[in-house]
Homo-oligomer: A and B are copies of this chain.
Amino acid sequence: MPKAVAGPEIERLIQLLAKLPGLGPRSARRAALHLIKKREQLMTPLTEALGTARDRITVCGICGNIDSQNPCTVCTDPKRDSSVIVVVADVADLWALERANAVNARYHVLGGTLSPLDGIGPQDLSIDALVSRAHEPAVKEVILALNATVDGQTTAHYITDLLHNANVTVTRLAHGVPVGGELDYLDEGTLSAAIRQRTPI
């Protein structure tokens, strides 16, 4: 147990910063020092931004997105195609698709993927809500934008089965060579998929 040098306030700040993903004990200490040195430029604004976010951020009751309004900005956007629901495991995936400007539709955040090893079953995910959304007459297509991992694909299969009776087309993301990717570094599964799903030029 090292001696407390800097007082309990800083020690507590370091401990909490170290709980952020990507920051260990060492970088949390650097971050705390940086904050203290940049009190006006960074510490005060960050304190206020955290407080505002804490007070205003909520989960969208329709799609599970995180926003300061409920229903969220995406669900209330009239310019989006409401006939397509993009199913993602996590809000981070929703953000990634939005950053890429990949699709102009509504989303549905499952809150994870099925994972028997971790004890995550269908009741732990927002699957019932998805099924009832998919049965709305306006919805024509459900895009399963799930990770190309075992858990992601298991979840995709499970949802596809559940949506069998709904009047929707269920699609999934294409497999293939990442844009900018070099063939030499790709695994065999990706290369096979890229050949199978080749497209005419």
Q: Please list the residues of chain A having a beta carbon within 8 angstroms of any beta carbon in chain B.
A: 2-10, 12-13, 16-17, 19-23, 27, 29-36, 38-39, 42-47, 49-54, 56-57, 65-69, 73-74, 90-92, 94-95, 98-99, 101
Q: Which residues of B contact A34 (CB under 8 A)?
A: 20-21
The 7 closest A-B pairs by CB, nearest first: A22-B27, A7-B68, A47-B50, A5-B98, A20-B31, A2-B99, A16-B46
Residues A49 and B12 in contact in the complex (CB < 8 Å), given A21-B27, A22-B31: yes
B50 and A6 contact, CB distance less than 8 A? no
Known: A47-B51, A101-B2. A30 touches B23 (CB 8 A): no
Given contacts A30-B22, A33-B91, A95-B29, contact A53 B9 (CB under 8 A): yes
Q: Is the CB–CB distance between B7 and A69 below 8 Å?
A: yes
Q: State how many copies of this chain the complex holds.
A: 2
User: CB-nearest residue of chain B relative to A77?
Assistant: B3
Chain B residues with CB under 8 A of A32: 53
Contact A54:B39 (CB < 8 A) given known A16-B46, A29-B95, A73-B4: yes
Among B31, B36, B43, B65, point to the contact of A5 (Cβ < 8 A).
B65
Contacts of A33 in B (CB 8 A): 66, 90-92
The residues of B that contact A43 with a CB separation of less than 8 Å are 50, 53-54
Interface pair B54/A3, CB less than 8 Å apart: no
- A50 contacts which chain B residues (CB < 8 A)? 13, 35, 43, 46-47, 50
**Nearest B residue to A90 by beta-carbon distance?**
B33
Contact yes or no, B19 A36, CB < 8 A: no
Closest to A7 in B: B68
